[in-house]
Amino acid sequence: MTTTSFTLQEIFELAYRVMIANGCNESNANALAKIVQSAERDGSHSHGLFRMPGYVKALRSGKVKGDALPVIKKITPNILKVSGNNCFAPLAQEMGLKEIVQITKKLGVGVLSLTEIHHFAALWPEVEYLAENNLVGIACTAYMPSVAPAGGNSPFFGTNPIAFAYPIPGKNPIVYDMATAAMAQGEVQIAARDGKKVPLGTGLDRDGQLTDDPKKILEGVLLPFGGYKGSAIALMVELLAAGVTGENFSYEAKENDNGDGGPPQGGEIIIALSPEIIGGSGWSEHVKDFYSRLSSIKGARIPGERRHENRLDSGPREINTNLVNSIKSLL
Ligand code: PYC
* Residue pLDDT, tens place only, 259-281: 999 999 999 999 999 999 999 99
Is the C-beta atom of 179 inside 6 A of ligand 1?
yes
pLDDT bin (cut points 50, 70, 90) of residue 317 is: very high
Q: Is the pLDDT of residue 32 over 90?
A: yes
Q: Is 285 a catalytic residue?
A: no
Write down the pLDDT at residue 184. Answer: 87
Q: How far is the CA of 111 from the centre of ligand 1 (A)?
A: 20
Of 158, 184, 155, the residue nearest 247 (C-alpha): 158
The residue to mutate among 140, 162, 176, 185, having the most atoms of ligand 1 within 8 angstroms of its beta carbon, is 185
Mean pLDDT of the chain: 97
Write down the pLDDT at residue 268. Answer: 98
Q: Is the pLDDT of residue 298 over 90?
A: yes
Q: Is 118 a catalytic residue?
A: no
Q: How far is the CA of 323 from the centre of ligand 1 (A)?
A: 19
Q: Whose CA is nearest to atom 7 of ligand 1?
A: 120
Q: Is the pLDDT of residue 221 over 90?
A: yes
Q: Is the pLDDT of residue 186 over 90?
A: no
Mean per-residue pLDDT for 61-79? Answer: 98
Q: What tens digit of pLDDT does each residue of 147-179 get?
A: 999 999 999 999 999 999 999 999 999 999 999
Q: How far is the CA of 21 from the centre of ligand 1 (A)?
A: 24
Q: Is the pLDDT of residue 1 over 90?
A: no
Q: Is 38 a catalytic residue?
A: no
Write down the pLDDT at residue 185. Answer: 87
Q: How far is the CA of 122 from the centre of ligand 1 (A)?
A: 6
Is the C-beta atom of 110 inside 6 A of ligand 1?
no
pLDDT bin (cut points 50, 70, 90) of residue 289 is: very high
CA gap 189, 261 in Å, rounded: 13
pLDDT bin (cut points 50, 70, 90) of residue 133 is: very high
